[in-house]
Structure 1
Amino acid sequence: MPCDHLSLQVPNTKLEEVTQFLLASLSHLGFKEFMRPVPHVVGLGETMPYLWIAGVECDQLDTATFETLNKHAHIAFAAENAEQVRQFHEAGLKAGGTCNGPPGLRTHYHPNYYCAFVKDPACGINWEIVTHHGGDGK
């Protein structure tokens, strides 16, 4: 069964920065903000909100806890083709992210696994975009 949605907690002071990074990095895929149903919560997606970014006060989770969680956080988006992967990587770097793996085949996953990784500048979350159709641009 597919996942319907997920929520990621970030420090409240980083909510806007993470949101803007994602919008800048994924807008070429139709990714947009849908709603802010309550303060400090943003719903993002293409045709409906499926990624919820929730800002929490740092006294709820101390800074060291967030840094540990973010160091291991990894969220992957699906791309239709290799060009979308390359566009995400370029846009993510332009938006201030750090390359955590350039666009390319990762054949240790399977022969057509083509992806890129960018860590966002606000929290260091490892964002990935992947196509399972190889790197030929189709």
Structure 2
Amino acid sequence: MPADHFSLTVPESAFEGLITFLTTSLAHFGFKEMTHPTPGVVGLGEVIPYFWIKSYLPEGLSEKAFLNLLKTNHVAFTAENSEQVNQFHAAALKAGGTCNGPPGLRQEYHAGYYGAYGAFVRDPACGVNFEVVCHLGE
């Protein structure tokens, strides 16, 4: 069963930076801000909002500790081809992301898995590990 939507909660200081990073890095997919229903909440997607970002700092947790927790998150988007993986990687680095390795085949996962680790980029606002992957190979 495919996922319908999901959300990522970030501190207020990282909210706008993460939105800018994602819309810049994934623009070639048509990924954009689609709705901003209330302050501190935004829905992103191509046709409908499916990736929601919320601004919130859990009580009793420092912003620094929260940002360290966010670095354990991983979010992956599907590409139609390896060129889209390459485009994401280049755009994400240009937008200030940190590379986790160049795009390439990662057959240790399964034949034709293009982009695992090679198309991973940590965003500059929170350090979340974003991936774009094509399962069709090069």
Band of TM-score, shorter chain: over 0.9
Deviations 1:39-87 (A, max 9, x none): 1001001110000000114656322431332221000000000000000
Mark the runs of 5 or more structure 1 residues left unpaired by the alignment.
Answer: none
Q: TM-score, normalised by structure 2?
A: 0.93
Match of 2:104? 104
Deviations 1:83-124 (A, max 9, x none): 000000000000000001211111111110001000000110
Q: Percent identity?
A: 58
Task: Count matched residues.
Answer: 135
**What is the identity, as a one-letter code, of the residue corresponding to 1:133?**
L
Query: For the structure 1 residues 25 and 60, does the alpha-carbon distance in structure 2 shift closer, same or farther, using more than 3 Å as the test?
Result: farther
Task: Please report the RMSD computed on the Cα atoms of aligned residues, expressed in angstroms.
Answer: 1.3
Deviation at 1:3, TM superposition (A): 0.7
Cα distance in 2, alignment partners of residues 26 and 114 from structure 1: 17
SS in structure 2 opposite 1:104? coil
Point out 4+ residue stretches in structure 1 off by more than 3 angstroms. Answer: 57-61
Is the CA contact 1:12–1:58 (under 8 Å) kept in the aligned structure 2? no
Match of 1:46? 46
SS in structure 2 opposite 1:17? helix
Match of 1:118? 121
> By percentage of residues, which structure has more strand?
1
Query: For the structure 1 residues 60 and 19, does the alpha-carbon distance in structure 2 shift closer, same or farther, using more than 3 Å as the test?
Result: farther
SS in structure 2 opposite 1:65? helix
Mark the runs of 5 or more structure 2 residues left unpaired by the alignment.
Answer: none
